[in-house]
Amino acid sequence: MRRYARLCIYSIGLLAFSASAFGAIVATASSDNGYVPANTLDGSLAGWSRWTSKGDGEWIRFDLGETRVLKAVDLAFQRGDVREYYFDLQASSDGENWTPLIEDTASSGQTRNFERVDVPDTQTRYVRYIGWGNNDNLLNSLTEVRFQSTAVEPVEPPVTGDWWQPQSGMSWQWQLQGTINTGYSVQVYDIDLFDTPVEMIESLQHSGQKVVCYFSAGSFEDWRPDADHFAAGDLGDPMGEWEGENWLDIRTQNVRDIMTDRMLLAKAKGCDGVEPDNIDGYTNATGLPLTYADQLDYNRFLAETAHRLELAIALKNDLSQVTDLVSHFDMAINEQCHKYNECHLLQPFIDAGKPVFNAEYGSKYVNDPAARDALCASSRLFGMHTLILPLALDDGFRLDCGID
């Protein structure tokens, strides 16, 4: 039995234009009982012009015809003045891999006119409504749908210049705490920007290894030497179990100035590249009204700044924006894409000949050789380099899947 939270959905009255006002929208559905999906786009709120399907998890999908910045969805429900409908909304760039926009939602049960559902600003081409029946029966029934969206703003081409270009199939080691173990025969070391002395970076490079320097670009850490540079208004909510960390408001100029200084430090210390962490705040409970567009703009700022300093840069997690960012970043670093069945979302990096470095923390991969063998076979087939590491990233143990 699903639980539903009544969100801020409100009636906006009947307007005289169809859901396809900005382009040729196409609707398809998991099923219908004779009331077809196209009825939701004909401009009519008449009860006979609707899409209806019975059962939990039935869906109707809308192809907007082009990628748009979605801001809200207007929904009109059949008998919506006496029934509360339960639903989720999802977005997708390819029609196959879906990101939640809003979940466990209930309509007002007070109007047959449009009700507006505000969603985080999201670049998407496809929108899917998943129905969970209503307070009377298992029917999912929409009479009309409209989309409040804007065109995607043109993006400046990525910065070009002379910096290290990582290649697909490279091997790596990732250690952010403790004395760095330099004994691994790998091509790339990923180590902490602040805690690693210049002498260590130079020693690794003298051995023929590239050095990526880690820092958090999306969170405040109260132990860092530049912690007093942040203003109170830069901080969002605490980051769950990570003591001493708060999410950052990536929209402020002060945050951007501090991150520029951090990359200048990476340049001064001789790092070949940088790994800015926590750059997917808009998908987390930050206490800040961050949007898809905010995150995209910030992440591109990080990439452009790194490249102007002739530093390579890794995209850390942020899987829902891979297609928008792959041309701006030089490699991808991911945590647990095998555990969450998300590795396919990194395919654009593989296709571009850029390395994908992955870390898995699951104890089953440490304790169960069969599970580990299956993981590593999948990783090698995909073309990434996966390590099985302790969550502390302190070199407590290291199991290497290798690369083909």
Phi-psi region of 95 (alpha: psi -120 to 50; beta: other; left: phi over 0): left
Task: Note whether 228 and 340 are same-domain residues.
Answer: yes
Q: Look at the pTM and tell me if it is higher than 0.75.
A: no
Task: Note whether 193 and 80 are same-domain residues.
Answer: no
Give residue 23's pLDDT: 53
Task: Note whether 139 and 238 are same-domain residues.
Answer: no
The SS3 assignment for 179 reads coil
pLDDT tens sequence across 321-335: 999 999 999 999 999
How would residue 75 be classed by pLDDT, with cut points 50, 70 and 90? very high
Within-domain flag for 309: yes
pLDDT tens sequence across 270-304: 999 999 999 999 999 999 999 988 999 999 999 99
**Residue 80 is encoded by which pair of tokens?**
């919506």
Give residue 11's pLDDT: 39
Q: What are phi and psi of 139, to 5 degrees?
A: -75, 135
Within-domain flag for 20: yes
**Which of 250-254, 282-286, 298-302, 373-377 shows the lowest per-residue confidence on average (mean pLDDT)?**
282-286
How would residue 89 be classed by pLDDT, with cut points 50, 70 and 90? very high
Q: Calculate the average pLDDT of the chain.
A: 92
Task: Note whether 254 and 119 are same-domain residues.
Answer: no
Does the structure show a pLDDT above 50 at 19?
no
Run of H or E including 293: helix 292-308
Does the structure show a pLDDT above 60 at 51?
yes
Within-domain flag for 156: no
Task: Note whether 184 and 327 are same-domain residues.
Answer: yes
Select from 121, 151, 181 the last residue of a domain: 151
Task: Note whether 101 and 145 are same-domain residues.
Answer: yes
First-to-last C-alpha distance (Å) of the chain: 46
Task: Note whether 219 and 354 are same-domain residues.
Answer: yes
Within-domain flag for 123: yes
* Domain with 50 in it: 10-151
Give residue 364's pLDDT: 95
Domain CATH number, residue 246:
3.20.20.70
60 contacts 27 by C-beta, under 8 angstroms: yes
Task: Note whether 54 and 125 are same-domain residues.
Answer: yes
Select from 86, 117, 151 the last residue of a domain: 151
Within-domain flag for 97: yes
Q: How many domains does the chain have?
A: 2
**Residue 403 is encoded by which pair of tokens?**
């690369």
Task: Note whether 350 and 213 are same-domain residues.
Answer: yes
Task: Note whether 272 and 342 are same-domain residues.
Answer: yes
How would residue 161 be classed by pLDDT, with cut points 50, 70 and 90? confident
Task: Note whether 253 and 341 are same-domain residues.
Answer: yes
pLDDT tens sequence across 347-358: 999 999 999 999
Give residue 36's pLDDT: 97
Task: Note whether 288 and 347 are same-domain residues.
Answer: yes
Share of the chain above pLDDT 70, in %: 94
Within-domain flag for 85: yes
Which residues is 58 bridged to in the sheet?
Answer: 131
Within-domain flag for 5: no
Give residue 155's pLDDT: 65
Within-domain flag for 157: no
Run of H or E including 221: strand 219-221
Does the structure show a pLDDT above 50 at 374?
yes
Pick the closest to residue 162 from 352, 311, 331, 313 (CA basis): 311
**Residue 21 is encoded by which pair of tokens?**
């006002």
Give residue 159's pLDDT: 74
Q: What is the DSSP-derived secondary structure letter of residue 193?
A: T
How would residue 242 be classed by pLDDT, with cut points 50, 70 and 90? confident
How would residue 258 be classed by pLDDT, with cut points 50, 70 and 90? very high
Give residue 31's pLDDT: 97
Which residues is 116 bridged to in the sheet?
Answer: 10, 74
